[in-house]
Structure 1
Amino acid sequence: MLDKLKHINWEKFHFLRTDYLWLGIGAILILCLGFLFYKESYAWKKQIAKHLRPYVIQKGNSWKIIIIRFSVILMFAIGLIAFLGPTWSQFKSPAKKVKSQFAIALDLSQSMLTTDVSPNRLERAKFKIHDLLEANPRAATNLVLFSGSTHVAIPFTTDYKIIEDQLDGLKPRMMPQSGTEFSLLFKKLDTLFTDNKAEGKILIITDDLDNLPIETVSSFLQQNNVKLYLYPFATQSGGTIPSHKEKSALNITKLNSLAEIDKVEVLEITLDNSDVKDLAKAISAHIVFEDKSDQQDENWKDQGYWLLFPLAFIFVLSFRKGWALNLIIIMLCFSSCSDEDKQNKKDFKFKDLWYTKQYQAQQEYDAENYTKAAMEFKDPMHKGVAYYKAGDYLSAETAFKQDTTVSGLYNLGLTYAKLGRLDKSATIFEKVIQKDPSNKNAHSNLAHVKKAITAMEALKPEDVDLKDKPSAKNKQNNSPEDLSGGGQKATKKDMQKKRLEETAETGKRKSKELDELPDNFKSGQGELPKNILMRKVDDDPALFLSKKFRYQIKKGLVETKKTNNSW
């Protein structure tokens, strides 16, 4: 310790928090003025008989009062200097690791239904997104849909299954505003990548390059730390837009101009998934970056803690009779109510002095802050119910799996039904009935789930949507296809290969009304109710997104613009 103090570099000596200097000096001045104008009152001495005063009152020395006051001022001054952060040496801080984020922007304009790319541009784009996510780019990914307005369909997530479940139902008619407006798209992307320390990645899938201003792209890339992948889904020959007489084709001249911009990479469509595999590999290889901070203050070592030793020494000398007991009381007041908090000092909060973690979790639950409550609860049942109420059914599933009781098994069945895994839900309800044959709710819910499964199995693809032609099932294309103007043509043999069709109907789950978790449920009081389930699971996710987008526009949360074209 003394060796370090001897080698102080006074040329580099300074304080880290000088902004608080005048506040500290003002407080010391107020303290000095208080001692200066303080006058002791002797009126109480008159209450003691004169002949007893010499025996009751002992005279003190005035120098003791001076020492006490001086020690108080000195301790306050030492504490202030320690708080200001004296420093004279630097240290190398380790570089932080930050991960890149990836945004997929999909054009949902009417022109994406053009069939020059088989089966049409939109369906091929969906297939490519599926292949891209299956290749696992490893980055947190979100899905942005744009036409005459731009909406975030799925926020950043590493659970790609959530994005894949939404793709099948995406159609142009779900967008509130027709057309293709890139200015709103880049305005939304700018909010997603504001002050991102790691280089972000953006994939724009579109067929309309005519309305994409080069100046907008260049300005966006200069203002944001991102790399742009442009994926044009159109051919040079083009095709007629459904329900319109206009023709849509790839603008090669505009494409080449965009490709010349720094940090812009143009992808070419391939018959297999090699194009998106290469993209996923490129994103995965550059997902982690070092955060090199330029703030010099963070590299200076705060040496103020050395002043705690003289401060503690002076404080010990100020002890008088009774102060030891007072110190114990103060220490007890600032100790935690639970042993867990003593082991985890980093998460310590002021309310931990008075409430246990479980009681705090119950308070969050009563305030309908279900996510926070779930993180605080330790019991799997309470944690699962809180996650369920928060709408995080995947986390609820994990929690209920840890509960071996019949109620936990029952709730797991309800969670599977909410997730659309009706087969697993039926299996779980059957296990509940085996353990508790008198459980009427389990019998009722099992009947509803089985009926929903039967209805789904009987549902034909052509019955899903009567307005649009079925797009989930690809028809065989008997003619070669010119892809993205690259001159690559598919052979008839290649085009006869059928793409595997997903039949899970993840977006078309149906179920009748089941028991709902009561609003007055108190997860820390009494026996947990057994009749927990959602009201229904019968909405198409695409329909939900469509309603969400229209609501955002109605409330002014999302901006719209009318474009020159109506597709």
Structure 2
Amino acid sequence: MDFSNFHFLRPTWLLLALLGLLLPLIWQRSRDLQRRLRGNIAPHLLPHLLLTPNDPHRVRPVHLVCALLVLGAIATAGPTWQQDRPDFLENRAPLIIAVDLSPSMDTADVPPTRLTAAKHTLHDLVQRRKGTRTALLVYAGSAHLVLPPTDDPELLDTFIQALGTDLISKSGKDVAAVIEQAKRLLQQSPGTLLLVTDGADVAQLPTLKDDSLQVLVLALGSSPTLKQLASALDAPLGSLTLNDDDLDWVARHAQQHFQNADEQQRLLQWKDAGYWLCWPLLLLALVSVRRGWSLNWGAVLLLGLLLPPTPAEANPFLTLDQQGRWAFEHHHYPEAAARFVDPYWKGIAAYNAADYDLAQTTFSAMNTPQAAFYLGNIHVRRFKFDDAISAYQHALQLQPDFPEASANLALAIALKKDTESAANNTPEVKPDEVKFDKAPGKGQSKAIQTQQANNDALWLQNLTTSPANFLRRKFSLQDQEAKP
């Protein structure tokens, strides 16, 4: 453990430790009868006139108060020697993958084709990044969001393998639109955009530079515009390899950028280690319970105010919203939903707990864009696409710049059309014979409750169309809406 950076976050509290060190001296001085009587009795007579009994107790209450004040002051001052790095920083950096779906990606110079080879590499990449948030964009003459940031590699790979050059009808290579989409997804947080492409639109190159976003270019083929694209974006240029070098290259650049940005944002944030002193403080408090000892309870209460707060789970004096927040941060979503009073957080907790009845009731009583957005998500999961479309449209009325609601609105419209098409084309088949598992009037009926899906992968499996057809329709609708 490196203590070279040891310091205190709140050093002013160390003055209280100085007071604690002076207390035994002050107490001893107050008990010095010779000093008090020196002005009234000749100094050479004092030793013979005073009887000072031997104190069998070496440790007195004042020494306990001294130790408590010193330890409490050190704990409150915030001793630290390492930066505070939350658990999520141990994972890999957030990444946005943008795949070029222009017709040139069907070229076979990278066997079997450029796009197929890219999909194989991306399959390995998302499996390696399991548990880390990754988003998926595609582009040709227009850019489209396939999946917002998710940590589910199976869901990502499902849509990656469904990609094809026939999904976007608009021709071109609109990298500028990809950058705008990526910036909206990251929302000023550190992250990396990975462009998987075989070329660029030369006319766009002078306008592509953006210092707020790190871009990596994973090249397919040998087009000279690839180097021009990397130069215009000031981006590292890599290529597919037969081993894992390309994956290591992406991970190394993304993580380095993320850590550098995080160090700049949290330069003065250090891990407070003062809470470790709670244990010796507790031990001192237990030792103080001795017969014949008395203590000024005002000092004890003052010391209690200086101690670091206890964890929320052990503190019954927290408000219900604070208890709910603790449960939510520890992923105890049903408990959080039960404790929250704040309607928005109660709805969020219920949504994460897959208690969609409670979430719908809670969000329905609110008139905010976020509440309408989550209502739309609930309706989509229940295949109530008309209600979902109305909810997303309401969210966009309240907040026009809401890219997630816009993307999900297009998704709900596409799902509705796919469902209607499947229903219209399904032939009616009547059974030859109907049998029941028990005779009429006998036995008992029992309601069977099924657990509602709590991630996108489960409800997406219920689509009545293939992912490719779904994406094709979705992109077509978005391109039609984007036309002036």
TM-score under structure 2 normalisation? 0.45
Q: Comparing both chains, which one has the higher relative contact order based on Cα–Cα distances under 8 Å and sequence gaps of 6 or more?
A: 1
More helix by share: 2
TM-score under structure 1 normalisation? 0.39
